[in-house]
Amino acid sequence: MSGRAPVITIALADQHHLIREGVRCLLATKKDFKIVGEVADGLKVIGLVERRKPRVLIMALALPGLSSFEVTLRVRRRWPETAVILLSMYASDQYVIEALRSGASGYVVTQAKGIELIRAIRRVAAGDRYLSAPLSQRPMDAWLQRAQARTLDPYDALTSREREVFNLVSEGHSSASIAGRLSISRRTAESHRANVMRKLDLGNQIDLLRFAIVRGLVALPPGPLRQSEGGHRRPAPN
């Protein structure tokens, strides 16, 4: 009987080719890891998981096209056997809590050592959860309690299509661009956009972007962060 560890199939999702290549090279050093596919767009992750059925999906927190939290939610609902690890440059409570709420099994900051990602893959593939340092300084139960203490959220009232539109609007796409990306008519895109604004009670795109950042649905731009009113983190001024 062979003592060889079973192969863990892995899919990668990150818009930056250099980062995917770096992760790929790191994982190639382990004989029990096998990369089965990669994409650079959030809208394409679902198709990749459907085709390849990876045991682990490693996904950047910031993805164009569709929020990584929304992708995580959809993947976990349709393929619960696929564990999701989010890679992020932010050790921010709001992002970790939203990741756990969405069903992610792991959260690894990009400042961590490579061994932490390897450890995370093996842990989530075994059915456990994993948070890299410095997040691991708090007990996992404490994180889960905060994630489960969910208040009524108007974002939950959005349909799947409206969430796709929400994400694209937050990226600055016009209705015409959204229509092209989602293969729908411009009128339909405008209708979804109006529904999003109405359901979230937002007045303009700046309000929408602010909602997305505070809610942790889009990543903050790179730069030093400071604590703001209400406990949220925001970029420090230049």
Closest residue by Cα to residue 196 from 185, 214, 209, 183: 209
Sequence-distant (≥ 6) Cβ neighbours of residue 14 within 8 angstroms:
20, 23, 38, 40, 59, 60, 63, 87
DSSP lists the bridge partners of residue 107 as 86, 131
pLDDT, tens digit, for every residue of 12-58? 999 999 999 999 999 999 999 999 999 999 989 999 999 999 999 99
- In the DSSP assignment, the letter for residue 202 is -
| Pairing mode, strands 233-235 and 225-227 | antiparallel
The pLDDT score that the predictor gives to residue 92 is: 82
Q: What angle do CA 166, 170, 171 make, to 5 degrees?
A: 120
Q: Which residue has the higher pLDDT, 230 or 45?
A: 45
The pLDDT score that the predictor gives to residue 172 is: 87
The overall average pLDDT reported for the chain is 86
Q: Which residue has the higher pLDDT, 157 or 60?
A: 60
Q: What is the average pLDDT across 101-125?
A: 95
Sequence-distant (≥ 6) Cβ neighbours of residue 101 within 8 angstroms:
69, 147, 148, 150
The pLDDT score that the predictor gives to residue 72 is: 95
* Cβ contact 203:176 at 8 Å: no
pLDDT, tens digit, for every residue of 140-196? 888 888 888 766 678 888 888 998 899 899 888 999 999 998 999 999 999 999 999
pLDDT band at 216 (very low <50, low <70, confident <90, very high): low
User: What's the predicted TM-score (pTM) here?
Assistant: 0.76
Q: What is the average pLDDT across 1-5?
A: 61
The pLDDT score that the predictor gives to residue 151 is: 63
- Residue 36: Cβ-neighbour burial (10 angstroms; 0-12, 13-18, 19+): middle
The pLDDT score that the predictor gives to residue 231 is: 37
| Helix ranges (DSSP H) in 31-92 | 42-52, 68-78
The pLDDT score that the predictor gives to residue 62 is: 84
* Cβ contact 162:199 at 8 Å: yes
The pLDDT score that the predictor gives to residue 175 is: 92
Closest residue by Cα to residue 126 from 56, 75, 76: 56
